[in-house]
Amino acid sequence: MTQQPLLQVHNVSKIFGATRALSDANLEIHAGQIHSLLGRNGAGKSTLVNIIAGIYPPSDGAVLFEGQDLRTLNIFSRQELGIRLVPQHENSFPHLTVAENIFTGLLPTRHGLVDWKEINRIAAEELGAYGLHVDPRAKVSELSSIDARKLNIIRAMHSGAKLIILDEPTTALTNRERAELFEFVRDLRAMGTAFIFISHYLGEVLELSDSISVLRDGRMYPVENRAEATEARLATLVAGEDVELSQRHRDEAPGPEATYVVVHGLASEGLQDVSIDIRRGEILGVIGFPGSGAREFCRTLFGISKVTAGSIVADGKELHLSSPAEAIRQGIAYISFDRHREGIMPTFDVNENIGISSQAGKLRRAFGFIDLALQKSLSNQYRDALKIRTNSIDDDINSLSGGNQQKVIVSRLLNTDPRLLILDEPTVGIDIKSREEIIGTVLELTRGGMSAIYLTNDYEELLRVADRLVFFDEGRIVTVLDNEGITIEQLTAIRDRAKEGV
Ligand SMILES: Nc1ncnc2c1ncn2[C@@H]1O[C@H](COP(=O)(O)OP(=O)(O)OP(=O)(O)O)[C@@H](O)[C@H]1O
């Protein structure tokens, strides 16, 4: 390509206190190009895109857009030039309508009044032009996650974006929604829009991108020979070494004699008449579309959703899980798919985030005192075991990268010494190496007798870890299978058949 690049990043570095988050990064992107950024948690991906978007300045180096040095421009001036960052977490306003979201700050007026009829008409036209067929008067909170994500991109397009940065846009989307999003992005690329795409899924990076670079420890490595790149090659580049995938072995699956929890006729909001036993040391894989009951099952077992009928009996004793705190007391822990809303305590440091759920348990001493020394020593152990990347456990949790925050949450739950660990999309936003560290820890603990319920949309991962597979649809269990010789294609076919009621 001979024309001037849209974006040029020249020798950009960033230092936060004692952390060198980025060293001499270089990157060029042209109009109509999709460039993917890969890297482990904490490798510097967000730092790089935040510098491009103008959220903070580089410590060194320069960013040019259409040949113009952006040094003196803040985030808003950069947006006007056409750079838009679409963050991982929805940046739309859920309580406003679709049209209001598109026009935020730019509402057309008539005689000084906001002209809603006109706004809704233009919004409908614009949505249609980009292939999003939703009612402009609908509240954003009512949209499906795929439509909400498309809306975020359309908002960017509406303000004249030429370069859109998508930070892990496929998180928690189903495979079908993912394909739909990619088609949408490709259509925009054909109109000349450029993209920076951040993802931990090597397969989707290979599928979508025109060019790829890997960030490792703040250094950038462009992937040469794009056409010859493979998942294995990318995985090695990301980790800086070969990654060994953890695998559950068939002969490790406990039999029915190891029954630990018996769920009988369970009902709650979105769940009806669910009966299943969970065995000691078992990893029970859970599968279903959103709203199928799979996630509702997990949340009911953790006391988030109220039981309306049926029973949960552990070792012969009925559990009354009136709240998550009660569930923790009963030895049940839950890792939420939504760590930002339900997991991280943003005003606490790493150590406090790990210890918070154990204060009623093993950290408690006489007269309500908490054993702070024990908490610190345990936090340090988790930091080493799960390789949490932080200078110290006293660091502010917000200074950790997203994936490392997730490891803190895993540590917090393990710190409650659960007998049943419920994992709801535990590796979303987690790089390949950290993912294997988390999976390895779960496998190790189940070998020691802990039971686990594992819900993920990543079927490759599920087939590697689960002993049995439980399919949900319309709030009920429709099929239970031993995970023996099942392929991803078969699993998808069974799930779809369940949906069609065959
Ligand atoms: N505001 C900050 N203050 C201190 N350190 C920070 C700050 N932001 C990032 N860091 C550190 O800089 C390094 C790079 O973090 P960054 O968020 O760019 O990683 P990432 O590749 O986006 O990771 P993830 O995939 O987990 O989100 C990490 O060590 C992180 O702890």
Q: How far is the CA of 397 from the centre of ligand 1 (A)?
A: 11
Q: What is the pLDDT of residues 210-235, one digit of tens each?
A: 999 999 989 999 999 888 899 888 98
- Partnered with residue 469 across adjacent β-strands are 285, 481
389 CB under 6 A from ligand 1? Answer: yes
Alpha-carbon gap, residue 431 to 310, rounded angstroms:
39
What is the position in ligand 1's atom list of the atom closest to the CA of 429? 25
For residue 344, report the distance from its CA to the centre of ligand 1, in Å: 16
Cβ of 45 less than 6 Å from ligand 1: yes
CA of 407 to the centre of ligand 1 (A): 14
At 17, is the pLDDT very low, low, confident or very high (cuts 50, 70, 90)? confident
Residue with CA nearest ligand 1 atom 5 = 399
In sequence order, the 6+-apart residues with CB closer than 8 A to the CB of 232 are none
Q: What is the pLDDT of residues 344-361, one digit of tens each?
A: 777 788 888 887 776 666
Looking at residue 344, its pLDDT comes to: 74
**Mean pLDDT (whole number) for 394-412:** 86
Ligand 1 centroid to Cα of residue 113, in Å, is 44
Measured in angstroms, how far is the CA atom of residue 464 from the centroid of ligand 1? 30
Under the banding of pLDDT at 50, 70 and 90, the label for residue 415 is: confident
Write the CB contacts of 500 (distance below 8 Å, at least 6 apart in sequence): none
Q: Tell which one of 14, 15, 16, 410 to mutate to probe ligand 1, the residue whose CB is within 8 A of the most ligand atoms.
A: 16
Which residue type is seen at 456? T
Among residues 41, 43, 63, which one has the least CA distance to residue 54? Answer: 63
pLDDT beyond 90 at 91? no
* CB-CB neighbours of 15 under 10 Å: 14
Residue with the smallest CA separation from ligand 1 atom 4 is: 399
pLDDT digits over 306-343, tens only? Answer: 999 999 999 999 999 999 889 988 999 998 766 555 56
Find, among 103, 68, 65, the residue nearest to 194 by Cα.
65
Atom of ligand 1 nearest to the CA of 88: 27
How far apart (Å, rounded) are the C-alpha atoms in residues 458 and 427?
9
Establish whether domains 7-239 and 257-331+418-501 are of one fold: yes
Q: Residue 409: what pLDDT?
A: 85
pLDDT score for 342:
58
Q: Which fold has domain 7-239?
A: Rossmann fold (3.40.50)
What is the whole-number distance in angstroms between the Cα of residue 116 and the centre of ligand 1? 42
CB 400 less than 6 A from any atom of ligand 1: yes
The SS3 assignment for 22 reads: strand
Please check the confidence at residue 471 and state whether its pLDDT lies above 80.
yes
Please tell me which residue, 492 or 6, carries the higher pLDDT value: 6
**Homologous superfamily of 257-331+418-501:** P-loop containing nucleotide triphosphate hydrolases (3.40.50.300)
Give the pLDDT score at 291: 85
pLDDT tens-digit readout, 148-192: 888 888 878 777 889 999 988 887 677 777 888 898 899 889 999
59 CB less than 6 Å from ligand 1?
no
Of all atoms in ligand 1, which is nearest to the CA of residue 200? 25
3-state secondary structure (DSSP) of residue 233: helix
Closest ligand 1 atom number to CA of residue 215 = 21
Averaged confidence pLDDT in the chain: 86
User: Does the Cβ of 41 fall within 6 Å of ligand 1?
Assistant: yes
- Could you report the per-residue pLDDT of 258-293, keeping only the tens digit for each? 899 999 999 999 999 999 999 999 999 999 888 899
- Testing ligand 1's pocket by substitution, the residue of 399, 410, 435 carrying the most ligand atoms inside 8 A of its CB is 399
Strands 271-279 and 259-268: antiparallel
DSSP codes joined into one string, 153-168: HHHHHHTT-SEEEEES
* Contact (CB, 8 A) for 60 and 51: no
Measured N-to-C along each axis, helices 432-447 and 231-239 cross at an angle, to the nearest 10 degrees, of 90
Q: What's the pLDDT at 105?
A: 53
Q: What is the pLDDT of residue 155?
A: 79
What ipTM did this prediction achieve? 0.96
CA of 22 from ligand 1 middle (Å) equals: 9
Q: How far is the CA of 21 from the centre of ligand 1 (A)?
A: 7
Q: Are 431 and 39 in contact (CB under 8 A)?
A: yes
Cβ atoms of residues 294 and 472 within 8 Å: yes
**238 Cβ closer than 6 Å to some ligand 1 atom:** no
Q: In the prediction, which pLDDT does 358 show?
A: 67
Helix intervals (H) in 386-484: 402-414, 432-447, 459-465
Distances 486 to 76, 203, 490 between C-alpha atoms, Å:
51, 20, 6
Least reliable range by pLDDT among 290-304, 364-378, 389-403, 422-436: 364-378
In angstroms, the CA 92 to CA 96 distance is: 8
Q: Which helix (H) or strand (E) holds 423?
A: strand 420-424
The domain limits of the chain are 7-239, 257-331+418-501, 343-415
The response to whether residue 23 sits with its C-beta less than 6 Å from ligand 1 reads: no
Confidence of residue 111 (pLDDT cuts 50, 70, 90): low
Residue nearest to atom 29 of ligand 1 (CA): 42
Judged against a pLDDT cut of 90, whether residue 480 lies above it is answered with yes
Residue 156 burial (10 A CB sphere; 0-12, 13-18, 19+):
buried
Residue 466 has pLDDT above 90, yes or no: yes
Is residue 363 predicted with pLDDT exceeding 90? no
For residue 50, what pLDDT band results from cuts at 50, 70 and 90? Answer: very high
**Centroid of ligand 1 to alpha carbon of 400 (angstroms):** 6
> What ligand 1 atom has the least distance to the C-alpha of 41?
26
User: CA 85 to CA 87: how far, in whole Å?
Assistant: 6
pLDDT computed for residue 337 by the predictor: 63
Kindly state the average pLDDT of the residues 10-24: 92
Residue 19 Cβ contacting ligand 1 at under 6 Å: yes
Cα–ligand 1 centroid distance for 49 (angstroms)? 11
